[in-house]
Chains A and B, each alone.
Chain A
Amino acid sequence: MPMTESFKVWFMEWYASIAQKFYGCFIEDERWRFLWDGLLVTLEVAFFAVIIGVVLGFLVAIVRASYDTSDFSGKATGWRRLGRGVFRVANWFCKLYLTVIRGTPVVVQLLIIYFVIFASFDVDKVLAAVIAFGVNSGAYVAEIVRSGIMSIDKGQMEAGRSLGFNYIQTMWYIIVPQAFKNILPALGNEFIVLLKETSVSGYIALGDLTKGGDIIRGRTFEALMPLFAVALIYLAVVMVLSAGVNKLERRLRSSDH
């Protein structure tokens, strides 16, 4: 029939043009390498930034939560007084950090770290990105962890202390494990946000996944294919990440009956 015949012709032409575009975007000159290498850079930056973010976040959160729950009544003398002073200053710096980082765009922070703070050093772009995204994420992780710590009943701290654990031990064995379980969904979400935020690394000409797709677009004048490919790869990574977080969440919840 003519109808199917014309459809067949159209389909063949369409397929040929798609195949040709696909070839141009990914196969020719091994352009897929831009995406692959970019993905590796994205994962590298996100991975190390998450580590910095978590460590920084937990430290800041513990200082902030401890400060907010401390009893400053009564007289303090000698070392205790000095300790309180140091504690106040530490809390002030943590607050300043949270305000500045959460109050300014991550792109601006990235540009400042690479072009201002590291301007006079020949610093690796990956390292600059890791520091920028790690320091940025730390502020958000800190608030998540702080809310987790504050959500634990104060009787838990009292029970730990009454057994003879010191403050740090009680935090480590009793408060933080419970808080961690509560905040895991929020933390997982933060990791996903962080991974996607690294897509602005192109601002310091770092060849991440987004930049890789953009380079292909520039070379082939074809926008749809490389950008969709980039989006799909992000989606796939995020889905794997979410699945991992969900699995961990289920495992930790097995002690909740």
Chain B
Amino acid sequence: MTTEALIRVEGLKKHFGSLKALDGIDLELRKGEVTVIIGPSGSGKSTLLRSLNLLERPTEGAIYFEGVNILDPKTNINLHRQRMGMVFQHFNLFPHMTILRNMTLAPMKLLHETPAAATEEAMRLLDRVGLQDRANAYPSQLSGGQKQRIAIVRALCMHPDVMLFDEPTSALDPEMVGEVLDVMQNLAREGMTMIVVTHEMGFAKEVANRVIFMDEGLIVEEGTPKEFFAHPQNARTRDFLSKVL
């Protein structure tokens, strides 16, 4: 693991009216690192994740991605989003397109890959998640777990430098959580930089390099999963962990 900071967040604030969803976040994420963000609902963890690719526009602060401040109005945010894959709680596959089309649309239109190259790459990724036979199916024909695995590989088709996961297993039936976490674990093993907002403590313990606990728009505590789960320093962290573990 290198020490080079891929993403650096400085003094990030996001206010919705009087609500302070993020109230001054400082954070550094290194290449190849898997960071898991946990915290009670309303703690700002999803807002933080969504701020990283500007699905939420922060009120204040700076976000440096590969050295460029993406909050600078001169930055082309669309190009930066191509470098950051995102996986949503509700999959957000495009229902009017086949699985293959879902995966090849962006590489063909944005990276100008040929249909043959984009299809080959998509089929290779589908094979990796065991869904090659569903290439010509429509999203509505798939189970939740299958949809989320497709959503992950759809993002991978753009060859991102970092993958953002916004509660990827929260909308799934319990028996489908495992298949999605497996895909994520494999991805982590291959060295993908990942930022994961989740309630899956098992995943945090086993896969994460770093765990961040957020509450009321602030980072309360962070550390390696080992020290974080074994010796939480903060009272709020201890309180939260006692409820979820």
Contact = CB atoms under 8 A, between A and B. Distances in A.
A166 B53 CA distance: 13
Interface in B78-97: 78-79, 81-82, 84-86, 88, 90, 92-97
B19 to A, nearest CB: 12
Interface residues of A, number: 28
Nearest to A177: B96
B82 to A, nearest CB: 3
Contacts of B105: 163, 173
B158 A164 contact: yes
Interface string B85-114: 110101011111100000001100110000
A213 to B, nearest CB: 44
A257 to B, nearest CB: 5
B22 to A, nearest CB: 13
Interface stretch (A29-37, A38-46, A71-79, A241-249): A71-79
A178 B78 contact: no
Contacts of A73: 16, 57, 59
A226 B95 CA distance: 50
A22 to B, nearest CB: 51
B109 A169 contact: yes
A257 B141 contact: yes
A120 interface: no
B140 A256 contact: yes
Contacts of A69: none
A165 interface: yes
Contact of A178 (B88, B96, B110, B154): B96
A164 B79 contact: yes
Given A79-B73, A165-B106, A178-B96, A159 B57 contact: no
Interface string A73-102: 110011110000000000000000000000
B155 interface: yes
Contacts of B86: 158-159, 162
A173 B109 contact: yes
A163 B106 contact: yes
B117 interface: no
Contacts of B203: none
Contacts of A80: 73
Contacts of A163: 81-82, 105-106, 110, 154-155, 158
Contacts of B158: 163-164
A74 B141 CA distance: 41
Contacts of B27: none
Nearest to B89: A155
A174 interface: yes
A161 B90 contact: no
B138 interface: yes
Contacts of B96: 177-178, 181, 255
A71 to B, nearest CB: 6
B94 A156 contact: yes
Given A73-B16, A155-B92, A164-B78, 5 more contacts: A73-B59, A160-B94, A163-B105, A177-B96, A255-B138
18 contacts: A73-B16, A73-B57, A153-B90, A153-B92, A155-B92, A161-B55, A162-B53, A162-B55, A162-B155, A163-B82, A163-B105, A163-B106, A164-B158, A165-B109, A173-B109, A178-B94, A255-B97, A256-B95
Which 7 pairs across A and B sit closest by C-beta, in order of nearness? A164-B82, A159-B92, A162-B86, A155-B92, A163-B106, A164-B81, A166-B78
Interface of A: 71, 73-74, 77-80, 153, 155-156, 158-166, 169, 173-174, 177-178, 181, 255-257
Interface of B: 16, 53, 55, 57-59, 73, 78-79, 81-82, 84-86, 88, 90, 92-97, 105-106, 109-110, 138, 140-141, 154-155, 158
